[in-house]
Amino acid sequence: MRKECLDVFYGKNNFLLDLRGWMDCSYPEKWTPLMIFERWIDAIGNENAGRLRSLNFMGHSFSVHIRVSKQAPQLASKFHTMPSYEDWIEVAPPGYTFELAACRAEQGLRTTLDNIATERAGKPLRVDDINKVGRFVTMLRPFLCTRCDHLNGAYLKSDRMEEFRVPKLHIEMCGICAYTETALPHRLKLCYPTMTTRVTRSRSRDVANLSHASTQPTKSALASQQVAPPNIPGSPDPLRATASGLSSRNRKLLLAKQNKLTDPNGQIPRFIRDRLSQPANDHSHALVNAVSSTLVFAQQEAGTAVCVSSSGLLLTCSHCVAESEDVLDLARFQWLLFADGRVVKATCVGYDGKRDLALLQIVAAQSPPLSDLTTADDTETSAFPAIALAETLPRRNTPLFCIGHPGSEDFEVDRPGVATGYDVLHISEGRHRGLAVGQDVHDNSGIGALKHDCWTYWGHSGAPLINEQGLLVGLHSSWDDSTGMRRGVAWEAVKAFLDEHAAKIAS
Enclosing H/E stretch for 337 = strand 334-338
Predicted confidence (pLDDT) at residue 224 exceeds the cutoff of 50: no
In a 3-state reduction of DSSP, which class is residue 191? coil
- Give residue 281's pLDDT band: very low, low, confident or very high (50, 70, 90): low
How far, in Å, CA of 156 to CA of 433, rounded? 25
Q: What is the pLDDT of residue 492?
A: 96
What is the distance between the alpha carbons of residues 290 and 268, in angstroms, rounded to a whole number? 11
Cα angle 84, 87, 88; round to 5:
90
Q: Which secondary structure element, helix H or strand E, spans residue 466, and what is its range? A: strand 464-466
Q: What are phi and psi of 73, to 5 degrees?
A: -75, 65
Residue 295 is given by DSSP the state E
The Cα-based distances of 345 to 17, 105, 128, 238 in angstroms read 37, 51, 54, 16
- Nearest-angstrom CA–CA distance, 142 and 148: 9
**pLDDT value, residue 263:** 83
Q: What is the number of other CB atoms lying within 10 angstroms of the CB of residue 290?
A: 26
Summary mean pLDDT of the chain: 72
Q: Assign domain 246-383 to its CATH superfamily.
A: Trypsin-like serine proteases (2.40.10.10)
Which stretch, 56-70, 145-159, 284-298, 487-501, has highest mean pLDDT?
487-501
Distance CA 455, CA 452 (A): 9
Fold of domain 399-506: Thrombin, subunit H (2.40.10)
Q: Would you state the pLDDT for residue 76?
A: 82
Q: What is the pLDDT of residue 494?
A: 96
Instruction: Output the pTM of the full model.
Output: 0.55
Count of C-beta atoms within a 10 Å radius of residue 55: 24
Nearest to 387 by CA among 299, 479, 281, 316: 316
Give yes or no for residue 108 having a pLDDT over 50.
yes
| Residues pairing with 389 in the sheet | 472
Residue 208 CB: number of other CB atoms within 10 A? 14
Task: For residues 177 and 184, give the distance between their C-alpha atoms in angstroms, rounded to a whole number.
Answer: 16
Contact between 384 and 310 under an 8 Å Cβ cutoff? The reply is: yes
* CB-count burial class (<10 Å; 0-12, 13-18, 19+) for 282: exposed
Amino acid code (one letter) for 26: S
User: Which of 32, 12, 19 has its CA nearest to residue 179?
Assistant: 32
**pLDDT score at 175:** 55
Q: Per mean pLDDT, which range of 33-37, 45-49, 253-257, 368-372 is the poorest?
A: 368-372
| Domain extent listing, the chain | 5-223, 246-383, 399-506
CA distance 411 to 413: 6
- Confidence band for 215, pLDDT divided at 50, 70 and 90: very low
Alpha-carbon distance of 456 to 465, in angstroms, equals 11
Identify whether the C-beta of residue 168 lies closer than 8 Å to the C-beta of residue 18: no
Pairing relationship of beta strands 426-435 and 472-479 according to DSSP bridges: unpaired
* pLDDT digits 0-9 by tens, 163-196: 666 666 666 666 556 544 443 332 222 232 232 3
Chain CA centroid to CA 453, Å: 11
pLDDT 10s digits, 4-19:
344 444 444 344 555 5
Which letter does DSSP use for residue 11 in this model?
Answer: T
What pLDDT was estimated at residue 272?
83
C-alpha distances (whole Å) from 115 to each of 22, 57, 74, 112 are 31, 19, 11, 5
Rg (CA), the chain: 24
For every residue of 44-84, which 3-state class applies, written as one string?
HHHHHHCCEEEEEEECCCEEEEEEECCCCCCEEEEEEECCC
Domains 246-383 and 399-506 share a fold: yes
Cβ burial, residue 502 (10 Å; 0-12/13-18/19+): exposed
Residue 28 above 60 pLDDT? no
What number is the average pLDDT over the span 156-160? Answer: 76
* pLDDT exceeds cutoff 80 at 277: no
Higher-pLDDT residue of 213 and 75 is: 75
Q: What is the largest CA-CA distance in the chain?
A: 74
Q: Strand order in 15-18's β-sheet?
A: 15-18, 5-10, 52-58, 62-68, 75-81
Q: Are 221 and 42 in contact (CB under 8 A)?
A: no
Q: How far apart are CA 36 and CA 40, in angstroms?
A: 6
CB 494 within 8 A of CB 477: no
d(CA 318, CA 302) in angstroms, rounded, equals 13
Cα distance between residue 96 and residue 144, in whole Å:
12
The CA angle 249-251-257, to the nearest 5 degrees, is 105
Burial class (CB in 10 A: 0-12, 13-18, 19+), 178: middle
> Exposed, middle or buried by CB within 10 Å (0-12, 13-18, 19+), for 94?
exposed
| pLDDT number for residue 20 | 44
Distances (CA, A) of 442 to 149, 433, 494, 495: 27, 17, 9, 10
Query: What DSSP string runs through 435-457?
Result: E-TT--TT--SSS-SEEE-----
